[in-house]
Structure 1
Amino acid sequence: MSSLSLTLTGAAREAAENQVPGLLDHEFASRLAAKDHTLWGVEAEDEASKRLGWVDLFEGSRQLLPQITALREELAGEGVTRVVLAGMGGSSLAPEVICATAGVELTVLDSTDPQHVASVIGADIEKTVLVVSSKSGSTVETDSQRRIVQQAMTEAGIDAQSRTVIVTDPGSPLAKSSAEAGVRAVFEADPTVGGRYSALTAFGLVPSGLAGADLESLLDDAEETLAILAEDDADNPGLRLGAAIGGTTPLRNKLVVVDAGSPLLGLGAWIEQLIAESTGKNGTGLLPVIVGDGEPELHRDADDVLTVQIIDVDAEDGTSVDNDVADLVVSSHKVRTGGSLGAQFMLWEVATAVAGALLGINPFDQPDVESAKVAARGMLDAETPESTEAEVDGAVEIRTLGSSALTDADTASLQAALKALLETVRQDGYLAVMAYLDRTSEHELESIRAQLSSLAGRPVTFGWGPRFLHSTGQFHKGGPHIGAFLQITTESEGDVEVPDRPFTLAKLIAAQAAGDAQVLADHGMPVLRVHLQDRQAGLTQLIDTVEAL
């Protein structure tokens, strides 16, 4: 049985009351359910006409379930019980939350950090099936990960093709090459569903089902919820949430997302990608700021911030766990929502479509993601981006680029550089920490997010590179240019070759970081690049320096 809860207060409630009547007049909900591609304006019509398959995907998705179950049983019979998923953005974030919430193990490979990738291929390769998820197969990270894992299998005496499962669009280059190579299975996804709306297509279902998640209940809950979201009704939670996040006046474009005891593990990261990549364009958009459990966020009452609490609607006393975080949430401008995972997937997808219409943008494209990819390709054969001369302090190398407010400042020490960066954070802006490290073994670095937020008095996001490039990276470049950026890179003690490619992972991740930094700087925003010359010593120095501030 699907469950869904939504409560709005303050500016969120006011926005819903102001905007929902107009949405009802336009019959937005029923027209969306009918896949009306004109809802987002003339400029968006072409893209929207190809990207609305997510509103009626249930029959096609259910047809996949017997095939997924049969394949899982086959693999288990061969002793293959570990699922490694190579995919970026929407191809990995939905399976990650589905499996975490279901309590089943899924190894997500969405990094180009050599240390992280080496740890994945160095564990239980004999029990591993590789799921490669990519709409085209051309995503450089996913292609590199596929080559590396398959080579590790071959070196272990395993027929790599028999351990490879492909999820892609029909007729894609990856579908054709995989069929020719004789992989274990090719699952074709609905090509009319964009990556970040693909949670309930083959992209979300295949890796999750192979890992053992309950897919039937997930689809049942989602379909039941969509029936409610398709109604032109003033109480429609999709219309109300979309209006709350996209219709405040002035726009509260920082969404501080708080896990308030939700059993939906990792949902915030999925919401972050869906909203940031869908709305961050044409100089506007919404920036989710994911706050860890128990972290204070002192600026939540700022007039450009809206708090989003993901609650547990099945708490034993029948209420949410609001009281547990009451001392952390000072804002009266809140969205509180909870329920089953399938219900939340549909709620946020509909709300994002609504918010896109209110913001006057196309929620189905991602024009600025490509800019970082192009820059990274250029950096593979180029020198480091234009920046100040490097300063060295202990185990870290410091460079600045972009805004003269930073490049002209004193950055001779790490402490001075961080102070200078904090001084560039605008009163209507934010700071983004972008860490090109190993998110599994170096997660202690995330502690600096809350500390920097307290120092800046503004929202601070934390993203692991390169995965954030497929998420908040779109907002950074396509949204309002109000960000300041702390980029953290490192020397790798070991490297990983990419078979049949003219680069290693160390070179690739360095190019991705340098390319992104250059694009941000070209937009005139301040970028502080901190390079850990000694990985562990530099990491410790950085954390200690932030604490000392």
Structure 2
Amino acid sequence: MTGRPPPYPPPPRPAEVVPRLVAAGIPSRIGKGDTSLWPNAARPGWVGAARAARPLVGEIEGLRDQLRLAGQVRVVLAAAGGVGVAAEALCAADPRLVVLDSTDPVQVADALAGELAATVLVVSAPPGEDTTGVELVRDAVHRAFRAEGLDPDAQTVVVTPPGGPLQQEAGGAVVVLGPADVDGPWAALTAFALVPAGLAGADVGAVLADAAAAAPGFAADSDDNPALELGALLAGAPVVALADDGTPALAEWAGQLVAGGLGKDGHGPLVVPVEGPDAPEWAGGAALALSIGDVPGAAGGTAGSPATQILLWQHAVAVAAHLLGVDPTDRPDAAAARPASGGEQPAFVEGGIEVHAGPWLPAGTDTVAGALRALVGSVGTHLTVHAYLDRVDDASAAVLRPELARRTGLPTVFGWAPRWLPGSGQRDKGGPVGALVCQLTGAADDTDADPGADPGTGTDPLAEHQIAQARGDAVALATRGTIVLRLHFTDRVAGLVTLARAVQQL
């Protein structure tokens, strides 16, 4: 289809950068939370987060014992701001943790199909996050609790900054306060992720002990500090291909951190989560190929426990942000409303897919394959797929990523939305400008309807919110000049089949 993007210059060699960082005392200044290293007003709370969280260990263990005595051994997490994927990383994919960081009605219905009497709902959102979706999920779970004759307050734990809206609406639920000076992926070692992870079985004491043991090494003014080499590489790489190495949640979290921490106003690297060394981007247009468990500078190449890896990537991104002259924790308030996006009519319908596009779509286009050709044939540097779908039931959508990369010749980024909107060029999402964005949304059938749906109109607040998010994001992208194609699956199974066939025709 299109040619590969122009070759990128090699990033600066860490050997040329690390000695300068050491001489300037950058690692130790980061370890002290010195905000003068970055422009604007950084939120340095992440630096001492693990140390400040130590008092939580007893509280979490006591609460977990109390809940287990009541038979509540399954955790459903309604989350925002990257803490859901952080909790998954700390739990190492423990099936007792079910993360709902989307209002996808299919995904919510799947979570509610579990044993509700054995379920505790954890509601967690760091400061500055839009809690609308979290509140909708909370309300849906509470309705399901009541329908089973269960008391929602007895089965809910709220993690919130002091005075936040979730605290004000907590009622009789247990409330755990998190810090007010961290947000997004930087909150991985705070109450926002530690509470749900700990209630699901993670050893929070061991997590924080690992972090405490690793922290001095990352704050050391030494050429052997692994955060310096990784940070120097990230600062110089226009594209980062990141393989999960068997730990997908940790890799996704790291991708969010790099993209959001370094991607400011269309700058920073394009982070491309890939399947492994066989991915097209690994040896193709990517300037830097990394495996999450095998990073430069770490002892023996291995980054260690999840807590150690989290701290390594946080310090490395802070180093890279200093080199790039950006603030790694500065971002727009996510609680701000998305742009208005009224109803829209599809350009055409094919095989269970409604195709929505702007005036860029050539007249007469009437197939999904034709719409995809028009999208990737537009002027752009990379292709981004944002899937507002169920990460479990609709997982086959992600399988299309490497095939799209091979057939288009473009670095191709895939993200489950709104959990992560990678490669869009937005100020807080990371990646350069020039994205070509394909949104995937899906309808829910009657069996997935939220118990709070309007019986007269069938309106489902979860589904409505999800579509509104996608439309609002599309408007925000289009306002920046980004070309957006939205493929809405009126039938998810049929739509995914149609999309797979269309990709094969590129």
Q: Scaled by the length of structure 1, what TM-score is found? A: 0.83
Deviation at 1:60, TM superposition (A): 2.6
- For 2:338, what is the secondary structure of its paired residue? helix
Say whether residues 1:423 and 2:377 are aligned partners. yes
Contact 1:131 1:166 survives alignment (8 Å)? yes
Q: 1:209-288 maps to which residues of 2 (within 5 A)?
A: 209-246=198-235, 248=236, 252-260=237-245, 262=246, 264-288=247-271
Aligned residue in 2 for 1:537: 494
**Aligned match of 1:127:** 118
Offset from partner CA, 1:280-322 (integer Å, 9 cap, x none): 11230123211125x7322434565310113369xxxxx98xx
Verify the 8 A CA contact 2:232 2:319 in the aligned structure 1.
Answer: yes
Q: 2:405 aligns with which of 447, 453, 458?
A: 453
- Equivalent position of 2:30 in the other structure: 32
Q: What is the letter of the counterpart of residue 279 of structure 2?
A: E
| Residue of structure 2 equivalent to 1:324 | none
303 and 119 in structure 1: CA distance in 2 versus 1, 3 angstrom threshold: closer
Q: What's 1:443 paired with?
A: 395
Q: Please say if 1:57 is aligned against 2:49.
A: yes
Measured after TM superposition, the shift of residue 479 of structure 1 is 4.6
Q: Residue 225 of structure 1: SS of its match in structure 2?
A: helix
Aligned positions of 1:321-336 closer than 5 A:
none
Mapped contact 1:286–1:475 kept (Cα < 8 A): no
Contact 1:169 1:189 in 2 (8 A): yes
**2:124–2:160: 8 Å Cα contact kept in structure 1?**
yes
Partner of 2:143: 151
Check 1:425–1:453 CA distance in 2 against 1; reply closer, same or farther (3 A cut): farther
Instruction: State the Cα distance separating 1:473 from its structure 2 match.
Output: 7.4
**In structure 2, what is the equivalent of residue 399 of structure 1?**
356
* Secondary structure of 2:259 counterpart: helix
1:433, 1:461 within 8 Å by CA — same for their partners in 2? yes
Q: CA RMSD in A?
A: 2.6
Structure 1 position 31, deviation (Å): 0.9
* 2:288 alignment counterpart: 306
Tell whether the 8 Å contact from 1:16 to 1:243 is kept in structure 2 after alignment.
yes
Q: Supply the AA of the counterpart residue of 1:31.
A: R
Encode CA deviations 1:221-242: one digit per residue, 9 max, x unaligned.
2111110111111221111111
Distance apart, 1:176 and its partner CA: 3.2
SS in 2 for 1:363: coil
Rate the CA distance shift 1:432–1:139 in 2: closer, same or farther, 3 A.
Answer: same
Distance in 2 between residues matched to 1:133 and 1:471, nearest whole Å: 26
Question: How far apart in 2 are the matches of 1:547 and 1:459?
Answer: 17
Partner of 1:20: 18
Structure 1 contact 432–486 (Cα < 8 Å) conserved: yes
Aligned partner of 2:437 in structure 1 is 485
Distance 1:504 1:270 in 2: 28
Deviations 1:256-292 (A, max 9, x none): 11134x5x45211101111112221123012321112
Distance 2:501 2:407 in 1: 15
* 2:274 is equivalent to residue 291 of structure 1: yes
What does residue 90 of structure 1 align with?
82
CA drift at 1:476: 8.1
Shift >3 Å, 4+ stretches: 299-304, 368-371, 469-479, 497-500
Residue by residue, what CA displacement relative to the aligned partner does 1:458-477 show, whole Å, maximum 9, x if unpaired? 21111112212499674687
* Aligned residues of 1:312 and 1:339 also touching (Cα < 8 A): no
CA distance in 1, matches of 2:491, 2:257: 35
Bigger Cα displacement from structure 2, 353-362 vs 302-311: 302-311
Aligned to 1:70: 62
1:142 aligns with: 134
- Aligned partners of 1:90 and 1:413: how far apart in 2? 36
Partner of 2:466: 509
- Match for 1:357: what amino acid? H
User: Alignment length, in residue pairs?
Assistant: 488
What SS does the corresponding residue of 2:55 show, helix, strand or coil? helix
Q: Residue type of the partner of 1:396?
A: I
Query: Could you list the runs of 5+ residues in structure 1 that have no partner in the other structure?
Result: 1-9, 314-318, 321-335
Q: 1:234 to 1:220 in 2, by over 3 A?
A: same
* Deviation larger for 471-480 or 86-95: 471-480
Kindly tell me: are residues 160 and 76 of structure 1, through their superposed partners in 2, closer, same or farther at Cα, counting changes over 3 Å?
same
Amino acid of the residue matched to residue 394 of structure 1? G
Match for 1:418: what amino acid? L
Q: Secondary structure at the match of 2:271?
A: strand
> Do 1:445 and 1:539's aligned partners in 2 also have CA atoms closer than 8 Å?
yes
Residues 255 and 305, structure 1, Cα contact 8 Å, conserved in 2: yes
Match of 1:352 in 2: 317
Provide Cα deviations, 1:482-507, integer angstroms capped at 9, x if missing partner: 1101111222213326589x971121
List per-residue Cα deviations over 1:28-60 (Å, max 9, x = no partner).
11111111111013xx1x3x1xx2122123333
Give the deviation of 1:112 after TM superposition.
1.1
1:345 Cα deviation (Å)? 0.5
Instruction: Identify the residue that residue 186 of structure 2 maps to in structure 1.
Output: 197
Q: In 2, distance between residues paired with 1:223 and 1:148?
A: 38
Shift of 1:524: 1.4
Structure 2, gaps ≥5 residues long: 1-8
- Find the residue that maps to 1:424 and give its secondary structure: coil
Equivalent in the alignment of 1:468: 420
1:156 deviates by: 1.0
Question: Contact 1:91/1:204 (CA < 8 Å) preserved in 2?
Answer: yes
Match of 1:6 in 2: none
Quote the offset at 1:531 in angstroms. 1.7
- Partner of residue 169, structure 1: 161
Contact 2:243 / 2:273 at 8 angstroms: preserved in 1?
A: yes
Q: Which moved more, 1:337-346 or 1:124-133?
A: 337-346
Range with greater deviation from structure 2 (296-305 or 110-119): 296-305
CA contact (8 A) 1:238 1:351 kept: yes
Name the aligned partner's letter for residue 432 of structure 2.
Answer: P
Instruction: Note the C-alpha offset of 1:544.
Output: 2.2
Report the CA distance between 1:530 and its aligned residue. Answer: 1.3
Within the candidate set 307, 332, 350, 1:367 is matched to 332
Q: Amino acid of the residue matched to residue 398 of structure 1?
A: V
TM normalised by structure 2 equals 0.89
Q: What is the deviation of 1:124?
A: 0.8
